[in-house]
Structure 1
């Protein structure tokens, strides 16, 4: 299993070399996803698979043009449609390995929303794999609390309010509730 972890770290490194924003993002999302999954009682192999999937959730961005990935202002609608293909690209990269099929499925659906208004195939609620829902909420938290070329990071208190406002819309209500145990450590680590 150690060799797989090393290979996956190299894949994340390749993506980080291509996408300036991704540097550190994958590790933060993986750490948050791991802690959230543990908080709701996931352990063993499933916990490890979610953790690995979180590290690799944006691997499909390797297939997105550098001009789009590193654009410093708002994306056009065509560019946004292109970005929305990264979960499918990531899935197609990883599903080539039988041992990574479960991880590939988690990655494929990480931008689906609880209310069905996400992107991918339009899954909603419990149709979305739990690992995808976990990564989706952690990905959104890191995106909101990180600086981007076109906007400043949102303060943690506002991010928490935004997540709660989207309970049952963008995010699984059970996961939003479970986050109450995790906000304080994340806020103190990232000040």
Structure 2
């Protein structure tokens, strides 16, 4: 990547945490790397400063680290989740936050991980933040996370076509996602389609 990781953040810590998650869930590791790659593209297009890009990029790599605390049978379940199982899945941002906040060097990253499932309309979790109450990095992660998730095979469903994914993101502009960020993707859609088709599991 064309930026320097903030000196106060250990890149080695990130790699170790990602490796620990991949040991539990291989899908999640590949997913996080693809999300981070898309996020780098979008952050550059937004002309964010390098230090901010580095924080958001690392948060993207670690956004699902809380799934370490979710039982394997739930993560890999092929049938519909029960309410209790879904509640456990929804706890992963808070679990991730509780892991990362233990390091003073990862506090800014922990905050972005905590809020990456908030929605623009306030109907997300864990805190129901809305619009610009949600940290910018979390809003960026939310879009790229959803794009990769929709275009990936999951235990419980086949992947969406890229056109179906695109239509869903546009449909949720200003509802689930920050409308400015959705509009900012622009010509990156073409690049991401090619990238995901080449790297998806």
TM bucket, shorter chain = over 0.9
Match of 2:111 among 105, 111, 117: 105
| Runs of 4 or more above 4 Å deviation | none
Gaps spanning 5+ residues in structure 2: where? 1-6
Q: Is the 8 A contact 1:20 1:70 kept in 2?
A: no
Match of 1:15 among 3, 16, 21: 21
Which residue of structure 2 aligns with residue 182 of structure 1? Answer: 188
In the alignment of these two chains, the number of paired residues is: 191
Is 1:160 matched with 2:174? no
Q: Is the 8 A contact 1:137 1:171 kept in 2?
A: yes
Gaps spanning 5+ residues in structure 1: where? none
Which residue of structure 2 aligns with residue 34 of structure 1? Answer: 40
TM-score of the superposition, structure 2-length normalised? Answer: 0.91
Which residue of structure 2 aligns with residue 89 of structure 1? Answer: 95
CA distance in 1, matches of 2:63, 2:121: 21
Which residue of structure 2 aligns with residue 63 of structure 1? Answer: 69
Q: Is the 8 A contact 1:29 1:139 kept in 2?
A: yes
CA distance in 2, matches of 1:150, 1:184: 27
Query: 1:4-26 deviations in whole A, cap 9, x for unaligned?
Result: 11221121111111124313101
Which residue of structure 2 aligns with residue 43 of structure 1? Answer: 49
CA distance in 2, matches of 1:24, 1:11: 13
Q: Is the 8 A contact 2:66 2:95 kept in 1?
A: yes
Q: Is the 8 A contact 1:15 1:59 kept in 2?
A: yes
| TM-fit CA distance, 1:3 | 8.1
Query: 1:24-62 deviations in whole A, cap 9, x for unaligned?
Result: 101001111111111112121111000000000000111
- Structure 1 SS opposite 2:125: coil
Match of 2:152 among 136, 146, 153: 146
Which residue of structure 2 aligns with residue 6 of structure 1? Answer: 12
Query: 1:130-189 deviations in whole A, cap 9, x for unaligned?
Result: 000000110000000001111111111111110000000000001100112210001122
